[in-house]
């Protein structure tokens, strides 16, 4: 069941989201060649403690950290570790949620480390474009959830990129994952509810440079491309308000 939020709830999710956007601003400035994914996670957790908020990913179904750090062929849910040192040419997707007084926001940014191949830079740019095209699509009158999939497909398919089908965006705000599921591929077999005022959604294209075939890492979290191609993930929390769509996790 889709949980429609009232004005107070949206305002609290907005506050949560702004803290998360500030975290990306602060931590993002530290992400560069030579830093470990463990240190990035530590910076995120330190920011949360400083701002008296929680990282709801930590402990969720046993997940050990406040952030997911997915590098290169890991598309999503990479676990931070001390031995994974970022090097020039890497692509890092940093996925973080914040719980502010029981109200949850969710966002992902992808960072190019040092000098990346031009194909990787284009890939990252196109996936980010797909996110904003998808957000624009659901902001239109009478839009439905599958407008996200239509927009993402329209943007990424001309480049031959793969669309992950096993994972999706979702409702968010009162819980970490809520209805509806928001897939990035078009299907006649998935629900297609109309966008309504009060919805708060985490829209998140999860794309590969090659095949969309994936497997689960031995840690049962990291989602990895079978062909070794790079993955990329961008995400924003958005709200449908009486004044239209608002991107909450942007400064």
Average pLDDT, the chain: 98
Q: What is the CATH number of domain 7-247?
A: 3.90.230.10
Cα of 154 vs its chain's centroid, Å:
19
Q: How confident is the model at residue 16 (pLDDT cuts 50, 70, 90)?
A: very high
CB 212 within 8 A of CB 226: no
Locate the DSSP E strands across the chain.
Answer: 67-71, 74-76, 91-100, 103-112, 162-163, 169-171, 178-182, 200-203, 206-208, 214-216, 223-225, 231-233, 236-241, 244-247
Q: Of the given ranges (118-127, 168-177, 185-194, 203-212), which has the lowest mean pLDDT?
A: 185-194
Beta-carbon contacts of 188 under 8 Å, excluding residues fewer than 6 positions away, are none
Structure tokens at 3: 């949980």
The pLDDT tens digits for 65-103 are: 999 999 999 999 999 999 999 999 999 999 999 999 999
Q: Span 193-197, mean pLDDT? A: 97
Q: Where are the domains of the chain?
A: 7-247
54 closest CA partner among 8, 94, 109, 16: 16
- pLDDT tens string 145-186: 999 999 999 999 999 999 999 999 999 999 999 999 999 999
Q: What is the pLDDT of residue 132?
A: 98
Whole-model pTM: value is 0.97
């Amino acid at each position: 069941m889709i949980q429609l939020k009232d004005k107070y709830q949206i305002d609290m999710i907005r506050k949560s989201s702004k803290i998360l956007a500030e975290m990306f601003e602060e931590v993002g400035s530290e992400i560069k060649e030579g830093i470990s994914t463990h240190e990035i996670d530590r910076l995120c957790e330190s920011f949360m403690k400083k701002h008296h908020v929680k990282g709801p990913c930590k402990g969720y179904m046993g997940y050990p950290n406040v952030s997911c750090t997915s590098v290169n062929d890991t598309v999503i849910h990479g676990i931070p570790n001390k031995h994974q040192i970022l090097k020039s040419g890497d692509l890092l997707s940093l996925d973080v949620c914040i719980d502010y007084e029981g109200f949850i926001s969710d966002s992902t940014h992808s960072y190019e480390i040092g000098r990346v191949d031009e194909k990787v830079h284009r890939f990252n740019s196109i996936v980010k474009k797909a996110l904003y095209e998808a957000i624009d699509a659901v902001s239109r009158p009478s839009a439905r959830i599958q407008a996200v999939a239509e927009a993402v497909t329209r943007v990424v398919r001309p480049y031959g990129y793969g669309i992950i089908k096993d994972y999706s965006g979702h409702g968010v705000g009162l819980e970490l994952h809520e209805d509806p599921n928001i897939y990035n591929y078009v299907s006649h077999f998935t629900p297609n509810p109309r966008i309504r005022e009060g919805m708060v959604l985490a829209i998140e294209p999860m794309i590969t440079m090659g095949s969309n075939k994936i497997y689960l890492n031995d840690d049962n979290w990291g989602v990895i491309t079978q062909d070794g191609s790079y993955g990329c993930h961008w995400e924003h929390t958005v709200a449908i308000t009486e004044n239209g769509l608002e991107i909450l996790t942007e400064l």
